[in-house]
């Protein structure tokens, strides 16, 4: 088993073993969250409890290493969108990642199964 990725709290309490539960007041993040050098927006961080893969900077780096991106379709300045084929928990599908590569800020991160 690998060690957990260090998590930096920004404005709220987080601790190993219960950071997902303790980091969210009534299910909502109050500030941004940094995982392995990437910073999630408040909205994106609100999905951490239901999307375990968001705690993997290695996965984010692998997606970005494909080089297959387009400017963010919603027009977010400096952001790019990656749509990369992959798998998660035995399901084939697509990784969606919207990130500003300069600031390492993540706006959207989702795996959609093709099943």
pLDDT band at residue 98 under the 50/70/90 scheme: very high
Predicted confidence (pLDDT) per residue in 35-46, tens digit: 889 999 999 999
pLDDT digits (tens, 9 = 90+) for 77-97: 999 999 999 999 999 999 999
Helix (H, G, I), strand (E, B) or coil at 80: strand
Closest CA to 83 of 91, 71, 49, 75: 71
The residue behind tokens 């009534």 is 26
3-state secondary structure 1-33: CCCCCCEEECCCCCCCCCHHHHCCECCECCCCE
CB 23 within 8 A of CB 13: yes
Q: Characterize the bridge pairing of strands 33-35 and 38-40.
A: antiparallel
């Amino acid at each position: 088993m690998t060690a957990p990725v260090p998590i930096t709290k920004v404005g709220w309490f987080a601790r190993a073993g219960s950071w997902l539960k303790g980091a969210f007041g009534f299910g909502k993040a109050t500030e941004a969250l940094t995982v392995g050098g990437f910073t999630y927006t408040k909205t994106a961080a609100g999905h951490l409890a239901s999307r375990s893969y968001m705690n993997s900077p290695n996965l984010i780096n692998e997606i970005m290493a494909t080089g297959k991106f387009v400017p963010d379709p919603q027009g977010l300045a400096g952001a790019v969108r990656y749509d990369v084929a992959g798998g998660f928990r035995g399901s084939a599908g697509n990784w969606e990642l919207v990130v500003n590569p300069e600031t390492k800020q993540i706006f959207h991160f989702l795996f959609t199964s093709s099943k």
